[in-house]
Structure 1
Amino acid sequence: MAALAPPVAAVRTAVRQALRETGGPVLVACSGGADSLALAAATAFVAPRAGLAAGLVTVDHGLQSGSAERASAVAAWAREAGLAPVEVATVEVGGRSGGPEAAAREARYAALLDAAARLGASAILLGHTRDDQAETVLLALARGAGPRGMAGMPPRREVDGVALLRPLLDVSREETRKACAALGLSPWDDPHNADPAYARARVRSTALPALVEALGAGVVDNLARTARLLAADAAALDEIAASALERARRPGDALDVTELERLPDGVRTRVLHAWARERGAPPAALSHRHVAALDALVTAWRGQGAVHLPGGHLVARRGTLLR
């Protein structure tokens, strides 16, 4: 018996560990690229041996010529590999808010979650790798994001009762390519990944290679490790902030300024961020600027007017209460 290629073993091990967190059927999100194709092949091998049903969804964004044919080819391969059910989800990207990357991502996740709900899947497996995580940290750093942004992509996140799992965050992009080669699979290279019009593509082709050249190959691992460390710190601070929010609550959905004043800056701003989201401010539109304005109502009160939050909400200070 031929020895199992180490990259194939690495991907299968990562999938096996992720599937231990699930208790029901799973779906693999697969574009046909090396990362998601290696993930799908590993899932097709591992899931039946773990007693789990595994299907696949490939999303056709309709942004490139031949996208429908590529999606059909991915679906046909998945059926031959033993994945079931298999679906092609065609989405409309135009007309959504944000830039083209954000709009495509929003449409993609909506389609995946819809498929999971219809098919009764407990989890969706996503093919993001360690390299993707390093790129995410660099992009967050460039935007001036705080610890939550630089914590990158979580290995697990619950959305509408469905677990979004990223088994490959400790696997390199190169390993997924080698896994595909060892299995005789031919991945598709999305030209958008090399298009300099997209910030992530510029980081991938220019910024991250420059850092590797200047600081050594370990910089990718170190950036991914930074994300893990910051994620742990952010989770701890969020837990502290949740308790502080409960202590600061007052009748009528108000917050007590005297309670907020006692808090460290990093906890207080988390409390205000969480409270604003509860009041209906859309998370994607709620920025540092909004939270800083809320914080000024607590720490730099000079009788200023109400703070306008996304979604048309107003927050004003009345005595020692924020309403």
Structure 2
Amino acid sequence: MASVGPHPAVADVRRAVREALADVPGGRLVLAACSGGADSLALAAALGFVAPRAGLRAGLLTVDHRLQPGSAERAAEVAGMAGALGLETAEVLTVEVGTEGGPEAAARDARYRALGEAADRLGAAAVLLGHTRDDQAETVLLGLARGSGLRSISGMAGGGGRYRRPFLEIPRATTVAACRALGLTPWDDPHNANPRYTRVRVRARILPLLEEELGPGVAEALARTARLARDDADALDEWAERAYLDCALSDIGGSVTLAVRALEDLPGAVRRRVLRRAAIAAGAPSGALSATHVHAVDRLITHWHGQKAVDLPGGLAAVRRYGTLILAISPIP
């Protein structure tokens, strides 16, 4: 009698994780960030199956944001599932969520900071994240709404570095089906249904409306757009990084000075990337630095008529003086 393989959804998530880890040397530790939701639970289960067969060690990290009652108990429950999922280690990372950038951004920043610190401490080769194709589509729509350029619609990177997202080509329905087939019961975070959060409104209202009005496949098309945009954005960023080195006259903590003439010779898409890079190097928070800010600084190069300094997030300002553009803490001496 022929053996029966795994459920198609289970096979899909395992294949995605296997491909995401193809370049990780044997014996290294790989961690799954798991909230207990269907996406990250399917991810952790797939890692627990794939890792030992690939000669890798595997562990689980779960973050307690302390934003709702019972969060500590819930995080402990998730960590306690590690052994049953085939993962050899598990840790609960308790974080303090600030307020900068709004609740969603603040929680994300705290989460990634904790995951990064844990990966460093444990010597992990990679941290796997459970974002799906649907998450990617939501990210593209949010980027379009911000109107902040090509990078904002290029979505989340799939892999190759510390953080890897094996499921960006997999719909959320597949992770739900995988959990069901494996007998796993995901936890539904109440925050994921709270319309006060922008991403929840995109997920519950905007994407379904687009599917209804434009036909099925919108999420897949948006994710494909992200892949194409990311390739272009990566190429422009690489060009801009080289250009920054040519334009920067000084780059000392809290102050960057650029040569205006060198900036004038650059295509707009590259020049604005250089300006954004300079503002962040001078101390502007990247999450608060918008396209509007960058375009205002760009006008100091392209439409110069002696205007005053441009105010930037983080208490910075940009001012043009004697053929240079200075980005520093305001007021600039």
> Which TM-score tier does this pair reach, normalised by the shorter chain?
over 0.9
| Residues 193, 157 of structure 1: alpha-carbon distance in 2 compared, 3 angstrom cutoff | farther
**What do residues 159-181 of structure 1 show as CA deviations (whole Å, max 9, x unaligned)?**
xxxx0111100011000000011
Equivalent residue, structure 2, for 1:259: 262
Equivalent residue, structure 1, for 2:282: 279
Equivalent residue, structure 1, for 2:61: 57
Q: How does 1:149-188 map to 2 (within 5 A)?
A: 149-156=152-159, 158=161, 163-188=162-187
- Point out the more displaced range, 253-262 or 144-153: 253-262
Equivalent residue, structure 2, for 1:10: 12
Equivalent residue, structure 1, for 2:331: none
**What do residues 240-259 of structure 1 show as CA deviations (whole Å, max 9, x unaligned)?**
21222223233675322222
- Point out the more displaced range, 220-229 or 80-89: 80-89
Equivalent residue, structure 1, for 2:193: 194
- Point out the more displaced range, 49-58 or 302-311: 302-311
Q: How does 1:288-303 map to 2 (within 5 A)?
A: 288-303=291-306
1:297 Cα deviation after fit: 1.1
| Residues 302, 88 of structure 1: alpha-carbon distance in 2 compared, 3 angstrom cutoff | same
**Runs (5+) with no aligned partner, structure 2:** 327-333
**Runs (5+) with no aligned partner, structure 1:** none
SS at match of 2:75: helix
Equivalent residue, structure 2, for 1:304: 307
CA distance in 2, matches of 1:103, 1:193: 16
1:117 Cα deviation after fit: 1.6
CA distance in 1, matches of 2:221, 2:243: 33
1:195 Cα deviation after fit: 1.0
SS at match of 1:137: helix
CA distance in 1, matches of 2:68, 2:315: 37
| Residues 305, 157 of structure 1: alpha-carbon distance in 2 compared, 3 angstrom cutoff | farther
1:232 corresponds to 2:235: no
SS at match of 2:67: coil
CA distance in 2, matches of 1:108, 1:48: 27
Q: TM-score, normalised by structure 2?
A: 0.91
SS at match of 2:163: strand
CA distance in 2, matches of 1:274, 1:157: 22
CA distance in 1, matches of 2:87, 2:126: 15
Aligned residues: 318
1:308 Cα deviation after fit: 2.7
1:157 Cα deviation after fit: 6.9
SS at match of 2:314: coil
| Residues 157, 97 of structure 1: alpha-carbon distance in 2 compared, 3 angstrom cutoff | farther
Equivalent residue, structure 2, for 1:25: 29
CA distance in 1, matches of 2:282, 2:296: 16
CA distance in 1, matches of 2:95, 2:278: 33
**What do residues 280-301 of structure 1 show as CA deviations (whole Å, max 9, x unaligned)?**
2221222222212211111111
SS at match of 1:197: coil
SS at match of 1:122: strand
SS at match of 1:316: strand
Equivalent residue, structure 2, for 1:82: 86
